[in-house]
Amino acid sequence: MSPHAPIVRTGRKFAQVLEGAREVFMADGFEGANVDDIARVAGVSKATLYSYFPDKRLLFIEVATTECRRMAERTLELVDPTAPPREVLTIAAQQIVPFLLSDFAQQCFRTCLAERDRFPELARTFYINGPENGKSQLRAYMAEAVARNELRIDDLDMAAEQFAELCKARLWNRAVFGIQTKFSPEEIAAVVSNAVDTFLARYGV
């Protein structure tokens, strides 16, 4: 099947296919995931699966994009952009840190690296919908906070990147290298608190 065939995003079984694919990809990775298993877990026929996604790569991209979009939408629902910076940044970090450490994000990251040369569109899509989208949302908030004289930032792009990197402190590398796979609420809270404190120490008014 052509990886460039269009995706059909209508129909009552579309979400069913995505959820089944997510479960299989998380268990077996991209390369190990079998279309027969995805169809079985999703409770659909292979014909139905292919009617939505003519290629497994398209299906993985859709799963990754959907998950990133869900996280972004959930964060926006929780944040009041007019609230004080500490409150806004704390809520943002409370969403970012667990997402980065989640099985889904870790699996996507490993797959992006492993398939970078053969499957470059996955890395680009995940980057655009994940890190780049997150940075854009942070930048937009920071620009408004600067206009209200709540933050003092000259380079908004750099500041947004820095905040995202602060959310990776200590735990991200441990997750990536498989040193640690489970993280307590206390460990996550410590990263969140330090990320916000460090950022505000540099850019707070």
Question: Tell me, what CATH number does 131's domain have?
Answer: 1.10.357.10
User: Hunting for tokens 């995940």 — which residue is that?
Assistant: 126
Q: Is the pLDDT of residue 195 over 90?
A: yes
**pLDDT band with cut points at 50, 70 and 90 for residue 2:** very low
Instruction: With respect to residue 157, please indicate whether it lies within any of the assigned structural domains.
Output: yes
Residue-level pLDDT at 114: 82
Q: Please name the residues in contact with 81: beta carbons below 8 A apart, sequence gap of 6 or more.
A: 88, 141, 144
In terms of residue numbers, what domain contains 192? 64-203
**pLDDT band with cut points at 50, 70 and 90 for residue 122:** confident
Instruction: With respect to residue 8, please indicate whether it lies within any of the assigned structural domains.
Output: no
pLDDT digits (tens, 9 = 90+) for 150-188: 999 999 999 999 999 999 999 999 999 999 999 999 999
Instruction: With respect to residue 114, please indicate whether it lies within any of the assigned structural domains.
Output: yes
Q: Which two tokens stand for residue 17?
A: 């296919």
Q: Is 10 left (phi over 0), alpha (psi -120 to 50) or beta?
A: beta
Instruction: With respect to residue 194, please indicate whether it lies within any of the assigned structural domains.
Output: yes
Instruction: With respect to residue 175, please indicate whether it lies within any of the assigned structural domains.
Output: yes
Q: Please name the residues in contact with 33: beta carbons below 8 A apart, sequence gap of 6 or more.
A: 21, 24, 25, 56, 60
DSSP at 184: -
Model pTM score:
0.83
> For the chain, what is the mean pLDDT?
89
* pLDDT, mean of residues 114-134: 84
CA dihedral for 147, 136, 107, 16, sign (positive or negative): positive
How many structural domains comprise the chain? 1
pLDDT digits (tens, 9 = 90+) for 54-91: 888 889 888 988 888 888 888 888 889 899 999 999 99
**Burial degree of 23 (CB within 10 A; 0-12, 13-18, 19+):** middle
* pLDDT, mean of residues 137-142: 95
**Burial degree of 185 (CB within 10 A; 0-12, 13-18, 19+):** exposed
Q: Is the pLDDT of residue 4 over 60?
A: no
Q: Is the pLDDT of residue 22 over 80?
A: yes
Residue-level pLDDT at 180: 94
Instruction: With respect to residue 32, please indicate whether it lies within any of the assigned structural domains.
Output: no
How far apart CA 149 and CA 152 sit, in angstroms, is 7
Instruction: With respect to residue 41, please indicate whether it lies within any of the assigned structural domains.
Output: no
Instruction: With respect to residue 90, please indicate whether it lies within any of the assigned structural domains.
Output: yes
